[in-house]
């Protein structure tokens, strides 16, 4: 099992963070990126929140692993999608809310402290299901339904969040 730090993956990830992951912008230095040989693994990428001992040794909050065959042989679009997928696992709690004193409404929410390990968690996938179950039972779960709606509208660059908002509006009517 060979691991190597990967500046190339870091470059891809930091660009994706700037474009799509605002909760990570001030914490880029807390994520390390590695390639791993693909022998004996059944995954292309992994994201791991560091244990307290790993944080002590490395100073990192998360490690992202990408198999070397993906880095070497995949198209840039596919590699970016994989790195983006792994970054989506890294979630951060919100901290203090900034309130407009005149209206009492929230102007913005600050992110929780980046140095606090309890501010961070690993987000699970939005959809996890077997195609056999979908075939037999249809879109039986709300998450699967949202995902399918986003896929159907992918030609229009609709995201799963757009599909969720659309579904909520339908339910409210």
pLDDT digit string, tens, across residues 71-94: 999 999 999 999 999 999 999 998
pLDDT at position 150: 74
User: Which residues, at least 6 apart from 173, have a Cβ–Cβ distance to it below 8 Å?
Assistant: none
Average pLDDT value over all residues in the chain: 86
The whole-number average pLDDT for the span 34-40 is: 88
pLDDT tier at 133, thresholds 50, 70, 90: confident
Number of neighbouring beta carbons within 10 Å of residue 34: 17
Q: Does 130 score more than 80 pLDDT?
A: no
* Helical packing angle, 142-152 and 160-172, nearest 10°: 120
What is the set of domains in the chain, with CATH numbers? 3-92 (3.30.2010.20), 131-172 (no CATH)
Contact yes or no for 34/22 (Cβ under 8 A): no
Between 63 and 127, residue with greater pLDDT: 63
pLDDT at position 131: 73
Of 13-17, 21-25, 140-144, the poorest mean pLDDT is in 140-144
Q: What is the largest CA-CA distance in the chain?
A: 60
pLDDT at position 48: 97
Q: Does 23 score more than 60 pLDDT?
A: yes
153: buried, middle or exposed (CB in 10 Å: 19+, 13-18, 0-12)?
A: middle
pLDDT at position 145: 76
Residue percentage of the chain with pLDDT more than 90: 55
pLDDT tens figures, 135-165: 777 777 767 777 777 777 765 555 555 556 6
């Amino acid at each position: 099992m060979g691991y190597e730090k990967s500046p190339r993956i870091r470059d891809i990830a930091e660009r994706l963070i700037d474009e799509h992951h605002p909760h990570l912008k001030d914490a880029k230095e807390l994520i390390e990126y590695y390639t791993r040989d693909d022998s004996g693994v059944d995954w292309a990428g992994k994201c791991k929140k560091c244990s307290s001992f790993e944080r002590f040794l490395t100073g990192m909050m998360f490690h992202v692993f990408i198999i070397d065959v993906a880095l070497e042989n995949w198209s840039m679009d596919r590699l970016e999608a994989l790195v983006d997928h792994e970054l989506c696992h890294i979630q951060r709690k919100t901290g203090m809310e900034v309130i407009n004193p005149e209206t009492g409404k929230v102007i913005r929410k600050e992110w929780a402290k980046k140095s606090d390990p309890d501010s961070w968690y690993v987000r699970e996938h939005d959809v996890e299901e077997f195609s056999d179950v979908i075939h037999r039972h249809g879109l039986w779960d709300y998450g699967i339904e949202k995902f399918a709606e986003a896929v159907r509208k992918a030609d229009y660059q609709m995201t799963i969040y757009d599909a969720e908002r659309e579904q909520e509006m339908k339910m409210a009517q």
